[in-house]
Amino acid sequence: MKRTDKKKTIQDFATHKKDTGSPQVQIALLTVNLKHLTKHIETHPKDEAAKRGLLGMVANRRKLLNYLREHNKDAYDKIVTKIGLRK
pLDDT of the residue at 36: 93
Q: Does position 58 have pLDDT exceeding 70, yes or no? A: yes
pTM, two decimal places: 0.89
pLDDT, mean of residues 29-58: 95
Residue with the bigger pLDDT between 1 and 85: it is: 85
Mean pLDDT computed over every residue of the chain: 92
Nearest to 5 by CA among 32, 27, 37: 32
Structural domain boundaries, residue 73: 3-11+19-83
Domains: count for the chain:
1
Query: Taking Cα atoms as reference points, which of 40, 36, 28, 3 lies closest to residue 82?
Result: 28
Report the CATH number at residue 78: 1.10.287.10
What's residue 50's pLDDT? Answer: 95
